[in-house]
Chains A and B, each alone.
Chain A
Amino acid sequence: MVTFNRADACAGTETVLLNIGPQHPSTHGVTHILVELSGETVVAAKPILGYLHRGIEKLAEYRTWQQDLVYTDRLDYVSQIGNEWAYCRAVERLTAIEVPERAEWIRTLFCELNRITSHIMWYAGVTMDIGTMGTPFIYAFKARERIYDFFEAVTGARMMYNYFRFGGVRCDVAPGLLEDIHDYLGGEFLELMDDLDALLLGNEIVQSRMKGIGAFTTAQLVEWGITGPFLRASGLAQDLRKDAPYGAYDKVEFAVPTSTVSDSFARCEVRMAEMREAASICRQVIERMPEGDISVKVPRLLKPEAGEVYVRTESPRGELGIYLVSDGGPKPYRFRVRSPIFYNISALPKMLPGWKLQDALVIFGGIDTSMGEIDR
C-alpha cells in the first residue's frame, strides 16, 4: 500500500490517486507514475519501475565479455552507441587494450550521430506530450530516418548496431559515406533544424506551456543527482566530454550549451543547441579523421585480470557509468550500470509536487526517459 504525506493545501477535501501509465501515450515507454492530486495540483508523485526489467545485468554475468556487448545496445535503445562505448571503454581499461587513433575518431562520429537521433526522439516525445499532434514529430523523424540510413549502411542495422569492438570498431566507413554524412549535416539537416526550432521554440503556445514550468535551482538538481541536459539547463556546464575527455573530444572544438533560466523551456533550448553542436562535431571529425587501423587484435576469449573498473561517459541523457568486476575468468563477475535516467526519474517525487498535472507532464518530458535503461 502506498502512503503519501498529505500537503496542507488539500484544505480538508479528498485527494485523488491517479495512475499515469504504464500504458499511457505520454509516458515514453512503460513508465508508471502514481500521482496524488488535490484538484489539478500534484500533491505527491511516485514512479513505479520494473515493467521493462529484462535482467540484463544478471544475464551479463552468464555470458563472456564479448557476448555482453550485444546486450549493451539494449540498455538504452535510443542511444545504443553510447552504451556500447561505455562498456568497451570499461573493458579496454580493465584489460589495458590500446585503441587506434582512427577508431577513436569513428567512435566519436557515431556517438554524436546517435546523440542527434536520441535528441530527436526526445523532441518527438516532448512535442507529443504538449499536444502538437505529430507535425514536428514527423518532421524530426525525417532526420532520424536519414541518420539511421547512414548507420545501416555502416553497421548493418538500424537500431541494434553491435558496431564497437574491444580495441576498435567492427568495420571501416566508406569514404563516400563520410562525404554523404558531412554534406547532409552541413546542409539539409541544419535547414530542418531551423524549422524544428521554429515549430517548437518559436511557437507561443509551447512557450506559454513551458516557460517558468519546472524551475529548479542548480543546488536542488545537484542534490538530487541530476545529470545531463536537465542539469546544464540550470547553468552548470557539467559535461564529461569536456570535464574528462575521451575519444576524440579533446581534439575537436565544441561548446557546452547551457542556460541560466532552468525551466522546461530552457531544457528544450539546451537540447536543440546540443543537436547543432553534435552536427558540428561530426563535421569536424569527418574533416580531420586520420588514416590508420580501425581495430587491434584481441584474444577471442578475453580473460581480464582480477580487478574492478568504473568508467563514465556522457550519454545524451546524462552521466552513464559502467562498473565491472572481473575475477580473472571469461565472464564478468559483476556488471553494473549507472543509468542517468534512473537518477533523474528518482527525483520526480521531489520535482512534481506543487505543479498542475499538465505541467507535471511537461517536467517529466524534460527528463527524456528511456525505460530500457532504467529497468535494465
Chain B
Amino acid sequence: MFGQGLLKGLGITFQRLRRPTETQLYPYQQPVLPATSRMFLAMYHDEAGVPACKACMTCQTGCPDHVIRIEKDTENPKVPLSFTVNSGRCTFCGICVELCPFSALHFTGDFERATYLKSDLIYKLVDGSRATGEGEGERHGR
C-alpha cells in the first residue's frame, strides 16, 4: 500500500523525538576534548622559565607550511631568541611536535583563539606573549 513507508518514517521520527537531546550547548558548556586533541601549540618551560627548546631548527625545517620561525642567539646557538608560530597558516598536522628531539612542543586543548586581525594569530612561544602587529598581518573588517 502506498504510504506505508511514509507512516513508518513518521513513526521513527516520533520515536526519536522522545529520546534525550544530544545538542552540545557550546559555548555555554565547554566540550570535553580527548587528551590527544591537536589544538594550539605551546612550549614547555622549566621552573626558572627557561624554554625547553634548544633551537635545533628541526621543527622549522620539518613544517610543511613554514609556520615556525626560530631566531638563534648568535653567542649561544642552543638558545632561541624568538620562537614564532603563525597559527593562521598552521594546519595542526602535529609534525613539529612529533619531530622535536627535546619534546619541547606540545598541543594544548585551547581552540578558542579567533581574532579580528591575521597578525594576532602570530604567537611567540618563547616568552609566551602574543606578537601583535608583527609579520605580514592583514587587516580584516572591524
In the complex, how many angstroms separate the beta carbon of A137 from the nearest chain B beta carbon? 13
Q: Tell yes or no: A202 within 8 A of B by CB.
A: yes
At the interface, is chain A mostly helix, strand, loop or mixed? Answer: helix
Among the stretches A29-37, A62-70, A215-223, A318-326, the one at the interface with B is A62-70
Which residue numbers of A lie inside 8 Å of B, CB to CB?
63, 66-68, 70-71, 135, 139, 142, 152-157, 160, 162, 170-171, 195, 198-199, 202-205, 207, 300
Among the stretches B31-39, B113-121, B123-131, the one at the interface with A is B31-39
Residues on A with beta carbons closer than 8 Å to the beta carbon of B12:
195, 198-199
Cβ-closest 8 pairs across A and B? A67-B64, A202-B5, A156-B36, A156-B38, A70-B93, A153-B34, A162-B93, A204-B5
- Mark out the residues of chain B between 64 and 123 whose CB falls within 8 Å of any chain A CB in the assembled complex: 64, 91-95, 98-99, 107
Q: Tell yes or no: B30 within 8 A of A by CB.
A: no
Residues on A with beta carbons closer than 8 Å to the beta carbon of B9:
198-199, 202-203
The reply to whether A156 and B34 contact each other, CB–CB distance below 8 Å, is yes
- Mark out the residues of chain B between 22 and 69 whose CB falls within 8 Å of any chain A CB in the assembled complex: 22, 33-34, 36-38, 62-64
The reply to whether A205 and B92 contact each other, CB–CB distance below 8 Å, is no
Q: In the complex the two chains form, what is the Cα distance from A67 to B5 in whole Å?
A: 50
For the side of the interface on B, what is the size category?
A: 20 to 34
Which residue numbers of B lie inside 8 Å of A, CB to CB?
2-6, 8-9, 12-13, 16, 22, 33-34, 36-38, 62-64, 91-95, 98-99, 107
The reply to whether B6 and A162 contact each other, CB–CB distance below 8 Å, is no
In the complex, how many angstroms separate the beta carbon of B101 from the nearest chain A beta carbon? 10
In the complex, how many angstroms separate the beta carbon of A301 from the nearest chain B beta carbon? 9
Q: Which of B4, B5, B99 has the most CB of A within 10 A?
A: B5
In the complex, how many angstroms separate the beta carbon of B61 from the nearest chain A beta carbon? 9
Find B94's partner among A63, A156, A195, A198 (CB 8 Å cutoff): A156
Question: 14 interchain pairs (CB within 8 A)?
Answer: A67-B63, A67-B64, A68-B64, A70-B91, A70-B93, A135-B13, A152-B36, A157-B37, A160-B93, A162-B94, A198-B8, A202-B5, A204-B5, A300-B99
Residues on A with beta carbons closer than 8 Å to the beta carbon of B3:
204
